[in-house]
Amino acid sequence: MRRPSFLEGVAVALIATIGIGVLFDPLTMLFASGFVLRMLIAVAGLLYVVYLLRRSGENVGRISSISLWLMSAALIWLMGLSLPVYLMAHLGLVWLIRSLYFYASLISALADLALLSFGLAAALWAMLQTGSLLLGVWCFFLVQALFVFIPSSWRRAGKPGTHLDGADDPFQQAYRTAQAALTKLSTLG
């Protein structure tokens, strides 16, 4: 399965914004707003992680990742963290899943962490400027749609041992040399 596209990320941002917008006001009539925000953060995080796992193309470890995410989310909930720390903990879980399933290098994972931080900053700025939770959610997920442009691995050009195709591997060189010798011998006889 190929990586998600930017437009797919925009669609996810739109769905998350509409979903949170539809649920927030009615739920705050029934429950305290802090409880509702924590619940919506957890549900949005779970749905986003499930989306990421489905789009990653990896079949190994999905159930373990979801189980680990659920246990971590329950632990975060039970710790009674303040809302900003609670949000940061859930964003850390999203970053961990995205790093494990979409990136093969530390530099790519760190670039994703920077993108996550930028998304959080954009969401906070939008919320402070407008007072709208919906615009904050929209800005956050819209910035997260950019993660598809982070390469899965970053390699230095010209450094030996960094090619994943095995072109500079000594075994591959010896194999190609042996194949060429066998071909030459078979054409001589």
List pLDDT tens digits, range 51-77. Answer: 999 998 888 889 999 999 999 999 999
- Write down the domain spans for the chain: 6-154, 156-189
- Mean pLDDT within 155-180: 66
Q: Per-residue pLDDT for 180 more than 90?
A: no
As given in the structure block, the two tokens for residue 113 are: 């962490």
Tens-digit pLDDT profile for residues 85-128: 999 999 999 999 999 999 989 999 999 999 999 999 999 999 99
CA distances from 91 to 48, 143, 150, 163 (A): 11, 13, 18, 32
What is residue 181's predicted lDDT score, i.e. its pLDDT?
Answer: 74
Mean pLDDT of 147-166: 67
- Give how far the C-alpha of residue 168 lies from the chain's centroid of Cα atoms, to the nearest Å: 31
The structure's pTM equals 0.77
